[in-house]
Structure formats: C-alpha cells, structure tokens
Structure 1
Amino acid sequence: MDLFDRTRDHVLALFRIVVGFLFALHGAATLFNVLGGPNSGKVPTFAQWPSWWAAVIQLVGGGLVVLGLGTRYAALICSGSMAYAYFVVHQKIGLFPMENGGEIAALYAWSFLLIAFFGPGKWAVDLVLGRSRREEPAAVAG
C-alpha cells in the first residue's frame, strides 16, 4: 500500500472540510452581509427566490458537509444548487465559464458531486453514527 492509498480517506476528509467551510462562509456572507459578502450591503429578502434559498443551502449544506453529517445527501443538494446557478444564471451570459463568470459555481458543483459519490472520508459524524459505510470492492481474481 503506497502513500496515496494510506492517506486517501484523510485527504478526502480535508477536501470535504475545506470545500464545505468555504461554501458555508459564502452562504453566511450572503445572508448576513458579513465577511465582505458579495451583496454590497444588500441582503436577500426572506424566502426570496433564488438568492435567499441558495444562501441557506450554502450555509446549512456547507455546514453539514464540514461536520460530515448527512454528507452524501447534503453534498448532492449543494452540487445541484451550484449546477442550477451555473445553467440558469451564468450559462445565458456565455458558453464557457471564463466568459460567463461561472467558474466558482462549476467547481463547487463538481466538488460536491465528488464528495457525494466518494463519501465523507475520515473525521465525519456520519462515521460515528454508523450512517456511512463504504464497502471496498472485492479484488478480482485473475
């Protein structure tokens, strides 16, 4: 077993924690106009579609991903929200992410999809509660 195999679950956990934390910070910045948020003093109205809902998904979903609680479902919802943002908001501006400003939405969508499929890694509440059991595939005899 090499270094990459031995550290895979730890690196995946660090990836999950960092991506979830950054996503949650973005949600907090949007909802509460803190941390130099993107709204320039304008907080979305309660339940306003889609900005308030997106910010709630970012804050709550990102927090759940950081904790590793309901990780796969939270990550899938976060991924979907960023895919929605990319295709509904950014795609109509231009075809490619560099043209339409959608690089961050695309990166978050793919990052959360990776987390949803590979699971939380180490240091997750799901593991303590026994919710996330990742079965290793059986070796193929050959």
Structure 2
Amino acid sequence: MAFDRLRGPVLSLFRMVTGLLFLLHGTASLFGVLGGNRGTGLAVELGTWPSWWAALIQLVCGTLVLAGLATRVSAVVASGSMAYAYFVVHQPEGLLPLNNGGELSAMYCWAFLLIAALGPGTWALDTLLDRLRGSGAHGSGAFPEHGTA
C-alpha cells in the first residue's frame, strides 16, 4: 500500500514531537522557564520527591526520545513515570482522567508505551547506529524501510 511507506517517518515524527513536549515540561519544571512548574514561573526545589525527579526524567528521557537514542528504554522509563504520576497524584482525586486532571499523564503514558513497543521509526539515531553496525534489527521498530511490516 502507498501509505505503508509513511509508517517509519510518521512514527519518527510522533516520537520527536512527544519527546520535545516532554522535554519542555522537564525544562520548565527544573529551571523555572517557559512558565515554570505547572505554570507558576518557579522551578521545583532541587532533589524534592517526586517533583524534581519527575522533571529530571522528563528532561533526560524527553531529550533521548526526541533524538531517537536509547529510545525504547527511555520511552519505558517515561511511560512508567507517567503511570506513577497518574496513579499516585491524579487518580486519588477521582476515577476518570477528565475529572482528576490526569489526562496529560495518561496520554504521555500510553504515547511512550507505543513508542517503546514500535521503536523509534526511520529518522532516529538508534536507526542510524543500527545501519552503521549493519544489523538494522530493531532501529526502525515494527516498520522496516523495505519489505512488509
């Protein structure tokens, strides 16, 4: 099918946008820029649990996912951190994400789980490194450039 050729690039774009947005959350929380932690204009206090650690995960994993480097591991860590955020911070406030303010955490959790399962796509440092090594085994995930998925 004609659309099959777009799978790798579209997955790459999805990964890059998701990573960038996650990275921006971490940057805002850690450094008090871009609106700061939850729009307060302030940075979270160094070392505080869980907010500072969550922001560090957002910054590091967001950067790695954006670049497509150590993508699957970074996406699993990011997904887990968002599951933690949902169940520990949001879910006690109400059952449904719409009622407890956890929509963003839930969406990030599932988006990163999808990235972990499907891989980084064709435009990623992981894919480039696989090609340079000659393996090509996991770099483009479930959607190799040639052949069928």
Query: Normalized against structure 2, the TM-score is what?
Result: 0.86
Q: CA deviation at 1:2?
A: 2.5
CA distance in 1 between counterparts of 2:142 and 2:35 reads: 42
Q: Who is 1:35 aligned against?
A: 34
CA distance in 2 between counterparts of 1:29 and 1:40 reads: 10
Q: Who is 2:113 aligned against?
A: 113
CA distance in 1 between counterparts of 2:43 and 2:61 reads: 19
| Distance change in 2, residues 1:85/1:135 (3 Å) | closer
Q: Who is 2:89 aligned against?
A: 89
Q: Who is 2:138 aligned against?
A: 132
Q: Who is 1:25 aligned against?
A: 24
CA distance in 2 between counterparts of 1:57 and 1:20 reads: 11
Aligned residues: 138
Q: After superposition, give the CA deviation of every residue in 1:58-97 in whole Å (9 maximum; x if it has no partner).
A: 0110000000000000000000000000000000000000
Q: Who is 1:2 aligned against?
A: 2
Q: Percent identity?
A: 57
The gaps in structure 2 that reach 5 residues or longer are 131-136
Aligned amino acid, residue 118 of structure 1: L
Q: Who is 2:133 aligned against?
A: none
Confirm or deny: 8 A CA contact 2:8 2:123 kept in the other structure.
no
| Distance change in 2, residues 1:28/1:135 (3 Å) | closer
CA distance in 2 between counterparts of 1:127 and 1:23 reads: 21
Q: Who is 2:68 aligned against?
A: 68
Q: Which moved more, 1:44-53 or 1:65-74?
A: 44-53
Q: After superposition, give the CA deviation of every residue in 1:5-36 in whole Å (9 maximum; x if it has no partner).
A: 11000000000000000000000000011111
| Distance change in 2, residues 1:135/1:45 (3 Å) | closer
The gaps in structure 1 that reach 5 residues or longer are none
CA distance in 2 between counterparts of 1:122 and 1:47 reads: 36
CA distance in 2 between counterparts of 1:35 and 1:11 reads: 27
| Distance change in 2, residues 1:95/1:132 (3 Å) | same
CA distance in 2 between counterparts of 1:47 and 1:53 reads: 7
Query: Normalized against structure 1, the TM-score is what?
Result: 0.90
List 4+ stretches of structure 1 deviating above 6 A. Answer: none
